[in-house]
Structure 1
Amino acid sequence: MTEQTPREQMEYDVVIVGAGPSGLSAAIRLKQLDPDLSVVLLEKGSEVGAHILSGAVLDPAGLNALIPDWKEKGAPLNTPVTEDHFFVLTPAGQTMLPSWPVPKLMDNHGNYVVSMGNVCRWLATQAEELGVEIFPGMSCSELVYGENGEVRGVVAGEFGKNADGTPGPSYEPGMELLGKYVMLAEGVRGSLSKQVMEKFDLRKGYGPQKYGLGMKEIWEIDPAKHKPGRIWHTMGWPLGKNAGGGSFIYHAENNQVFIGLVVHLNYENPHLYPYQEFQRFKHHPMVAELLKGGKRVAYGARAISEGGYQSLPKMVFPGGALLGCSAGMVNVPRIKGNHNAMLSGKAAAEAAHAAIKAGRQSDELSDYEQSVRKGPIGQDLWKVRNVKPIWSHLGLYASMALGGLDMWTNSLFNFSFFGTMKHHQTDAADTKPARDFAPIDYPKPDGVLSFDRLTNVAFSFTNHEESQPAHLKLKDPAIPIAVNLPKYAEPAQRYCPAGVYEVVSEAGRDPRFVINFQNCVHCKTCDIKDPSQNIDWTTPQGGDGPNYPNM
Structure 2
Amino acid sequence: MTDTTRETMDYDVVIVGAGPAGLSAAIRLKQLDADLSVVVLEKGSEVGAHILSGAVLDTAGIDQLIPDWKEKGAPITVPVTSDAFYILGEAGKVRVPNAVMPPLMNNHGNYIVSMGNVCRWMAEQAEALGVEVFPGMSCSELVYGDNGEVRGVVAGEFGKNPDGTHGPNYEPGMELHGKYVFLGEGVRGSLSKQVIAKYELDAKSEPQKYGLGMKEIWEIDPEKHRPGKVVHTMGWPLGKNAGGGSFIYHLDNNQVYVGFVVHLNYRNPHLFPYMEFQRFKHHPMVADLLEGGKRVAYGARAITEGGWQSMPKLEFPGGALLGCAAGMVNVPRIKGNHNAMLSGIAAAEAAFAAIQAGRGGDLLDGYEALVRTGPIAKDLKRVQNVKPLWSKHGLIASLMAGGADMWVANVTGWNPLGAMHHGKTDAAATEEASKHKPIDYPKPDGVLSFDRLTNVAFSFTNHEESQPAHLTLKDADVPVKVNLPKYAGPSARYCPAGVYEFVGEGADTRFQINFQNCVHCKTCDIKDPSQNIVWTTPQGGDGPNYPNM
**Range class of TM-score, shorter chain:** over 0.9
Aligned pair 1:183/2:182, yes or no? yes
Match of 2:481 in 1: 482
Match of 1:433 in 2: 432
Q: Secondary structure at the match of 1:84?
A: strand
CA-based RMSD: 1.1
Aligned pair 1:321/2:320, yes or no? yes
Match of 2:471 in 1: 472
The CA deviation at 1:365 is 1.4
Sequence identity percentage: 76
Q: How does 1:413-432 map to 2 (within 5 A)?
A: 413-432=412-431
Q: How does 1:9-408 map to 2 (within 5 A)?
A: 9-408=8-407
Q: What CA deviation, in whole Å up to 9, does each residue of 1:154-199 have, x standing for no partner?
A: 0000000000000000000000000000000000000000000010
Q: How does 1:436-475 map to 2 (within 5 A)?
A: 436-475=435-474
Q: What CA deviation, in whole Å up to 9, does each residue of 1:457-499 have, x standing for no partner?
A: 0000000000000000000000000100010001000000000
Aligned pair 1:516/2:514, yes or no? yes
Q: Secondary structure at the match of 1:412?
A: helix
Range with bigger deviation, 349-358 or 411-420: 411-420
Within 2, Cα distance between the matches of 1:493 and 1:515?
10
**Letter matched to residue 134 of structure 2:** F
Match of 1:531 in 2: 529
The match for 1:545 among 540, 543, 546 is 543
Within 2, Cα distance between the matches of 1:196 and 1:292?
47
**Letter matched to residue 535 of structure 1:** I
Within 2, Cα distance between the matches of 1:417 and 1:108?
25
The CA deviation at 1:505 is 1.3
Within 1, Cα distance between the matches of 2:57 and 2:412?
27
Q: Secondary structure at the match of 2:428?
A: helix
Within 1, Cα distance between the matches of 2:328 and 2:507?
47
**Letter matched to residue 400 of structure 2:** A
Within 1, Cα distance between the matches of 2:466 and 2:415?
55
Q: Secondary structure at the match of 1:429?
A: coil
The CA deviation at 1:2 is 13
Within 2, Cα distance between the matches of 1:21 and 1:415?
29
Within 2, Cα distance between the matches of 1:425 and 1:27?
36
The CA deviation at 1:411 is 1.1
Within 1, Cα distance between the matches of 2:484 and 2:24?
44
**Letter matched to residue 416 of structure 1:** N
Within 2, Cα distance between the matches of 1:296 and 1:203?
40
**Letter matched to residue 531 of structure 1:** P
The CA deviation at 1:418 is 1.2
Q: What CA deviation, in whole Å up to 9, does each residue of 1:214-264 have, x standing for no partner?
A: 000000000000000001000000000000000000000100000010000
Q: Secondary structure at the match of 2:366?
A: helix
Within 2, Cα distance between the matches of 1:9 and 1:18?
19
The CA deviation at 1:509 is 4.8
Instruction: Tell me the matched-pair count.
Output: 549
Task: Tell me, yes or no, if the aligned pair for 2:187 and 2:325 is still in contact at 8 Å.
Answer: yes
Task: Tell me, yes or no, if the aligned pair for 2:384 and 2:419 is still in contact at 8 Å.
Answer: yes
Q: Secondary structure at the match of 1:363?
A: coil
**Letter matched to residue 538 of structure 1:** T
The CA deviation at 1:414 is 2.2
5+ residue gaps in structure 2? none
Q: What CA deviation, in whole Å up to 9, does each residue of 1:4-34 have, x standing for no partner?
A: x811100000000000000000000000000
Within 2, Cα distance between the matches of 1:364 and 1:110?
38
Q: Secondary structure at the match of 1:141?
A: strand
Q: Secondary structure at the match of 1:428?
A: coil
**Letter matched to residue 518 of structure 1:** Q
Range with bigger deviation, 405-414 or 340-349: 405-414
Within 2, Cα distance between the matches of 1:205 and 1:296?
44
Within 2, Cα distance between the matches of 1:8 and 1:477?
35
5+ residue gaps in structure 1? none
The CA deviation at 1:412 is 1.2
**Letter matched to residue 227 of structure 1:** R
Task: Tell me, yes or no, if the aligned pair for 2:179 and 2:360 is still in contact at 8 Å.
Answer: yes
Within 2, Cα distance between the matches of 1:97 and 1:310?
28
Within 2, Cα distance between the matches of 1:19 and 1:166?
29
The CA deviation at 1:417 is 2.5
Match of 1:494 in 2: 493
Within 1, Cα distance between the matches of 2:365 and 2:269?
41
Within 1, Cα distance between the matches of 2:129 and 2:22?
15
The CA deviation at 1:86 is 0.2
Within 2, Cα distance between the matches of 1:48 and 1:419?
40
**Letter matched to residue 284 of structure 2:** P
Q: Secondary structure at the match of 1:430?
A: coil
The CA deviation at 1:413 is 1.9
Q: Secondary structure at the match of 1:100?
A: helix
Task: Tell me, yes or no, if the aligned pair for 2:2 and 2:143 is still in contact at 8 Å.
Answer: no
Within 2, Cα distance between the matches of 1:275 and 1:446?
14
Residues 2 and 358 (structure 1), Cα distance of their counterparts in 2 relative to 1, 3 Å cut: closer
Within 1, Cα distance between the matches of 2:2 and 2:107?
54
**Letter matched to residue 58 of structure 1:** L
Within 2, Cα distance between the matches of 1:413 and 1:177?
46
The CA deviation at 1:416 is 2.4
**Letter matched to residue 535 of structure 2:** W
Within 1, Cα distance between the matches of 2:294 and 2:101?
34
The CA deviation at 1:415 is 2.4
Within 1, Cα distance between the matches of 2:441 and 2:81?
35
Residues 2 and 183 (structure 1), Cα distance of their counterparts in 2 relative to 1, 3 Å cut: closer
Within 2, Cα distance between the matches of 1:412 and 1:452?
46
Within 1, Cα distance between the matches of 2:7 and 2:489?
43
